[in-house]
Structure 1
């Protein structure tokens, strides 16, 4: 088999890259180690920046997010048992974010790829990549017990944090930066109306962090900070709902609708960046290159901006026969990555209870929150980072 671009990973970043390249007339094949049902069943993020929505429209898959997504114009911060709205739209000249589950994004992209008759090879075992430091990259894998080989011009590593692509880079050619946080997020998905339909709610309390989000007008996604050592089995639905209520303001806690969870899990929090994001004819994108704490809702959106930079560079290479874009891909992508890492780290540090956040630490958090909600400049900084900085922010300075 041969293609122009081999994409490893059929998550949102790989599927979006494949769709953008296809629309530009560039042949691509996606290789995924899991089944299509497994990929579609993964529960992930659900807040899209306007840049991500624009990319979905560019890829021709924006109809359902426009019809079914819920636009948010603000966020709400809770501390000292009081809720404070931040007018995101007003502070950013009209920008918004949209609540629309990553599972739905994946489905839209899968459906578009199938409708176009494009090749996605699921359940590929023993995937390995070769020759990306030269001019003839090759992907090898097993499917239905048969050894197969895919020759290509370029390899796009969209295969996540534990994927084969970053792991295949020679030792010493990559620098990794990591911060591991001393707590996790216990999250549940429940078919109950969200406690807030117009904003995500972030709560800072002496009991720890809480977050109220949504996937639709009938499905909610809620989280509480918990010890990283905790097990899901320790948390009954009743215990979860009781703990979340204790971290919210009284009015919101009172009107929260509860119900049985349909998914429950504990996720560790980490910040991670691998530099560079290009190695010869191999490019990393999304979680293969970086992880952010979910506090700032940047994971999926950062993957989408990687894909925008990478697809533009590859289109430029094939259409204009210049390598300027691919040569600059890593620098451009990493500039945006580190801005998102900074914002996610800052918001995580501000809203969570750390082992030393007692007394002085808690008071400093509350003082910063007080400044944040009462200073237009501070609120604007939060808002413009939350909706997503422009793709070319700072690129030409």
Structure 2
């Protein structure tokens, strides 16, 4: 007796784009027949019983005909005929054509694995991010699609293993150490400069002070993001003037490397005072400005504005570049980045998490080829009584 080693599944690269498949669906009578056919298969039954991940058996239209999380016919009846994104409550599945028909589905790892597996006739793996309706935190799965044959008909077994925790840890560490090492390199460079006979001591002292403050800020930001992800971050609310917030943001980039050869224009702020966590607010705005500067070529300009907004205040950061439409649909998903090789990916996700869940605002963006890209944070103003109490507490 000999054992045949099965080849490793083909791995689709992160961000792989594929054509959208045929959106046609099977009729209900056909789904009922397929459900009955698969239910009689001892091989499929063994797979469903043994799997330690979510397992979906899909027909050629990518519709569910068996599901290991549903062990009785009544439960299966709620998902039979649905597609994977519809079972998981994916926001993209709300598209009129359902799961697999929205523009963002072109880069869906699960859909890519399903279609590639059917075409190649062998297992295919990919990573998949799913933002469920009503949830601000996306799920991250390792999706493996394996073609099988039951009763002479083709089906696909789709395994979805939750890798959210490990991806979150990897992304946090990647971003943190990337920024930390850059700042430490700057500190070492200016420390070496001080050893030279003709060192410019005042300038080196100024840069060392600025870099040490930047290092402290990066450590605090990383800690805040970890606490926010865990749901244990407690905002420290108090009175904060909109103009003072913008001054603090501007000060961060006075000597920042990312602003080199670029112009940062910060407009005047209306005489508005907020009741908010000033530190978290500055973190969100700094993140917006930094992302805009990174997306701006040398010689370009990033503009920051603040204005009264219906019931509150709106901060806006604009740069001239445009975000491709396929990227826009995934811009706030954790670990998604157009700059993956640079170790980033929590910038937009972090500003969404902190700005909405902990500051109670709304983070959004608009991006077109004609107008460029503008990220906004809209914060409500507190009622007069609440504001007065916050101001008294801040000045006591």
Q: After TM superposition, is the score higher than 0.5?
A: no
TM-score (norm 2): 0.22
TM-score by length of structure 1 reads 0.22
Q: Give the structure with the larger helix fraction.
A: 2
